[in-house]
Structure 1
Amino acid sequence: MTDTMDAITADRALKAKHRAMWGLGDYPSVARDLIPELGRVLVAAAGVRRGERVLDVAAGTGNAAVPAALTGAEVVASDLTPELFTAGREFAASQGAQLTWEEGDAEALPYPDASFDVVLSCVGVMFAPHHQKAADELARVCRPGGRIGLISWTPEGFVGEMFRTMKPYAPPPPPGAQPPPLWGDEQHVRQLLGDRVTDVVARRQIVTTGGWTSPDAWRDHWKSVYGPTIATYRNIAGAPERVAALDRDLAALAGRYDRGNGTTVLDWEYLLLTARRA
């Protein structure tokens, strides 16, 4: 009994930490300015249609939920960090979309089995620390014959490399937590979902980001808007030499990927995966 209570307490503390992390910086600007097309890509790939009931897991500000709602679907945007919903509602209103916003943990979704025709997550569920729990929930709330659609950063792409670059400077992960970019590995996702899905289609695609004057400018922008990067810098705030080292490492990473001419342009690889619930 004591072990169970300890596990529950630890999980609550971890989720509180994750909620706070995604409330740092300005994630709404990342979704709006850098990766707005990803939600539309996911909704199209999943074939969302008018009248379907759709759940966007770890929805953030509604990158996928809003375009799903614009098809005429009945959409619920669920996220562990409801502080993001204010920007999400503003985004939805600007697009003329109507949907429901509800707080929810991707590892323990507050919905009955087989509640949705389509379950989506756009670079969202990949950040749930316990991958199997999250995958189990995606499958559980999707009705038989329904569809699951996911976009996740790949381990080999720019964002995957960024997380590897930050890892030596970040707090150690909690026991049992897995790296987020593993969701960008097709075989990993297939193993997580197992025989609960059929008709798996997976392909790697690129979203191009840009507008920074230099790799240093990208780093300075990113460390001010992106929660995981802000949290990493806070972890080493008392060690100026480590802050300087991380500054160099992130700028060097952006420099290796930069294909711009006069401005920094970066290609970020992601895995687009769709499947049908068996």
Structure 2
Amino acid sequence: MSANAATEHNSEMESLKARLKATWECGDYGHFATYMASGALDFLERIGIQPGERVLDVACGAGQISVPAARAGARVTGLDLADNLVAQARAWAREEGVDATFDQGDAEAMPYEDASFDVVVSLIGAMFAPRPDRVAAELLRVCRPGGRIVMGNWTPEGFIGGMFRIIGKHVPPSPLMVPPAKWGDPETVKERFGSGVSSLDLTRQIYTFEYPFPPADVVEFFRVYYGPANRAFAALDDSGQEALRRDLEQWWSAHNQATDGGTRCEAEYLHVTAIRR
């Protein structure tokens, strides 16, 4: 790559990262995630974090993992790209009376020393950074040798992977953006961590989305509160928005298991536990 081409590529990447930051800062992820709290706690319980462990929550959102982990006695630091989510996480920690630190920062270049943490966690978060090889390198770098890296990543074949494909059909992603759901593919995860880990456990788990309202209202809820859906709808004209809404409503309706007028869909994710070499 020539110097000019490299400069142009870097400029395009910085522009993409600025758009991603703006995407996650729109809507209201803290409110959006209230319906995901149960699944987050199930994920946290599966990790088995111990009191006193130094825990880094990468792409921590509004603190859905960080605050309960701190409540359980872990020494928690949360990192997120979105300033408003960092503020929400800090506010929640204060309300709960727990001691946790929250920083604004990038999963591709984390502001921490090597081997700073015993457990490095990311639930449906770091998978959205555009350069996964850098993310993998950073997750390994900040984790101590013998420590754990634990991720929960939507699978390409699962319910949310399918929703991403629908949105991408209507609003194609940047060519610089590696598909986030590749983090849910076992062979890809093995390749990304490579020789940096001494063991790697990969299991498929279910995250249940449950709402007390019908699929059409779920789609509207995503449009208002979930940044990527919010920005996708905003990028379309009226007819484009209607087409996207129709496809998403059909997807949620087709997978709805609720029989009480609400919505209940099961989304597969890959639970990753890696031991840092």
Deviations 1:124-156 (A, max 9, x none): 001001111111110111111010010111111
1:203 corresponds to = 203
Q: What CA distance in whole angstroms lies between the structure 1 residues aligned with 2:268 and 2:258?
A: 17
For 2:12, the aligned partner's letter is A
SS of the aligned residue for 2:174 comes to coil
Deviations 1:43-73 (A, max 9, x none): 3333322222111111111111112212322
TM-score (norm 1): 0.92
For 2:21, the aligned partner's letter is R
Q: What CA distance in whole angstroms lies between the structure 1 residues aligned with 2:190 and 2:35?
A: 28
What are the ranges of 5 or more consecutive residues in structure 1 without an aligned counterpart?
Answer: none
Q: What CA distance in whole angstroms lies between the structure 2 residues aligned with 1:263 and 1:124?
A: 27
For 1:135, the aligned partner's letter is A
Q: CA deviation at 1:171?
A: 4.2
Q: What CA distance in whole angstroms lies between the structure 1 residues aligned with 2:153 and 2:87?
A: 24
Matches within 5 A, 1:168-247: 168-175=169-176, 177-237=177-237, 240-247=238-245
Q: What CA distance in whole angstroms lies between the structure 2 residues aligned with 1:23 and 1:165?
A: 22
For 1:107, the aligned partner's letter is E
Q: What CA distance in whole angstroms lies between the structure 1 residues aligned with 2:157 and 2:95?
A: 35
Q: What CA distance in whole angstroms lies between the structure 1 residues aligned with 2:45 and 2:148?
A: 12
Q: Which runs of 4+ in 1 moved over 6 A?
A: none
Deviations 1:27-54 (A, max 9, x none): 11122x2211343333333332222211
Q: CA deviation at 1:2?
A: 4.3
Q: What CA distance in whole angstroms lies between the structure 1 residues aligned with 2:190 and 2:44?
A: 20
Q: Identity percentage over the alignment? A: 39
Q: What CA distance in whole angstroms lies between the structure 1 residues aligned with 2:173 and 2:90?
A: 34
2:258 corresponds to = 260
What are the ranges of 5 or more consecutive residues in structure 2 without an aligned counterpart?
Answer: none
RMSD: 1.7
Matches within 5 A, 1:60-139: 60-139=61-140
| Number of residue-to-residue matches in the alignment | 274
Deviations 1:67-91 (A, max 9, x none): 2212322211011112112221232
TM-score (norm 2): 0.93
SS of the aligned residue for 1:101 comes to strand
Q: What CA distance in whole angstroms lies between the structure 2 residues aligned with 1:213 and 1:163?
A: 22
The answer (yes or no) to whether the contact 2:39–2:208 under 8 Å persists in 1 is no
Q: CA deviation at 1:277?
A: 0.4
Q: What CA distance in whole angstroms lies between the structure 2 residues aligned with 1:108 and 1:68?
A: 24
